[in-house]
Amino acid sequence: MRSYGAEFIGTFWLVIGGCGSAVLAAGFPEVGIGLHGVALAFGLTVVTMAYAIGPISGCHLNPAVSIGLWAGGRFPAAQLVPYIVAQVLGAIAAGGVLYGIASGAPGFDVANGFASNGYGDHSPGGYSLPAALLCELVMTMFFLIIILGATDKRAPAGFAPLAIGFALTLIHLISIPVTNTSVNPARSTGVAVYVGDWAVAQLWLFWLAPIAGAVLGAIVYRFIGSDPR
């Protein structure tokens, strides 16, 4: 239960830190942090939580990561569903807190997006469904390759949180214009449920593509990362 509680808390922090920076700080007049700041915020949430709860739960914070680690032989199947439930509940709870904060500002309208992920008319750059699907799949595939490599027993000890956090920052720098960057079904769900309408209707892609990408990443790493000894 401590592991599930840690995943709840860690995913809560990811949504508050990442989506919160997008909703509250990205476009703030004169001192807004913009795309670069939001990308860094997502990376920082992973770095800080990896050091805080990594020894407790492994700090997955993401159903796609949990599934990818299972596919890579690093995580037991029996814990998949409880981990995913804890992650999604943590994301939804954080979305509620973020909604409570954001709605205190004049002119706030959840219909503006609330950091939700989308394609077509709801993509920041107007990218199509196939482009969004390919982007999410490839970004998550490389995210899993980096996670599996950084946490390999042959990797330098103690640096995995930095590698993983930098990877998530880079992923956001690449793909915020395409989908607002998901690579995490829990993160997408945590804000989409408050927007409803199009955000929920498009949510399927932000479950399907990251999970498929994570499994592909695990397959690739099992091939290239297998110990020849």
What is the tens place of the pLDDT at every residue in 145-171?
A: 999 999 998 888 889 999 999 999 999
Residue 126 lies in a domain: yes
Residue 11 lies in a domain: yes
Residue 229 lies in a domain: no
Cβ–Cβ under 8 Å, residues 84 and 64? no
Cβ–Cβ under 8 Å, residues 87 and 186? yes
Cβ–Cβ under 8 Å, residues 146 and 224? no
CATH number of 76's domain: 1.20.1080.10
What is the token pair recorded at 56? Answer: 């407790």
- Expressed in angstroms, the distance from the first to the final Cα of the chain is 37
pLDDT digits (tens, 9 = 90+) for 105-140: 988 888 888 999 999 999 999 999 999 999 999 999
Taking the C-alpha atoms of residue 120 and residue 127, their distance in angstroms, rounded to an integer, is 5
Which pLDDT belongs to residue 9?
A: 97
Q: Which amino acid is at 49?
A: M
Residue 212 lies in a domain: yes
* C-alpha distance from residue 112 to each of 16, 116, 191 (Å): 18, 9, 12
In the chain, how many domains are there?
A: 1
Cβ–Cβ under 8 Å, residues 197 and 90? no
pTM score, two decimals?
A: 0.93
Residue 213 lies in a domain: yes
pLDDT digits (tens, 9 = 90+) for 31-87: 788 999 999 999 999 999 999 999 999 999 999 999 999 999 999 999 999 999 999
Taking the C-alpha atoms of residue 195 and residue 63, their distance in angstroms, rounded to an integer, is 21
Residue 30 lies in a domain: yes
Average pLDDT, the chain: 94
Tell me which residue range forms the domain holding 106: 2-224
